[in-house]
Amino acid sequence: AQFARGTREKFISAMDDDLNTPAALGYLYDLAREINRARAERATAEALVPAQIRLRELADVFGLTLEEPRERVSDADAEKIEAMMAKRKTLREAKKFAEADRVRDELSALGVVLEDTPQGTIWKKVK
């Protein structure tokens, strides 16, 4: 999301200014407010992911763990999601990126957002 641009730099500048934590926390609050505003304006879950990642990254500096409430996922749905993620991983390893992207799109259509991290891919169900 475009509104997330510059937040990291402002946050770092505040922290570099004699650990101005009130200002740094203010930037986190502003970013959270913008994410909520974009969500209320019907931004797609995928469009919000970069800003949400940035918010979690910066909140982690203070040891804050930000998690959205998860929609309860049935065991059958969780198994289906995990199977689709395994298929996507296999396709990516085989360098079949277009097919892997189609699997991601299928998951997105089911309301599942994937986040590729250095530790592996994680998923969450969104509204």
CA distances from 89 to 45, 50, 81, 108 (A): 21, 21, 12, 16
Contact 85, 121 (CB under 8 A): yes
Contact 41, 17 (CB under 8 A): no
> Helix, strand, or coil here: 114?
strand
The per-residue pLDDT for range 97-116, each reduced to its tens digit, is 999 999 999 999 888 889 88
pLDDT tier at 95, thresholds 50, 70, 90: very high
At residue 24, the pLDDT reads 94
At residue 71, the pLDDT reads 62
69 has pLDDT over 70? no
Threshold 0.85, pTM exceeds:
no
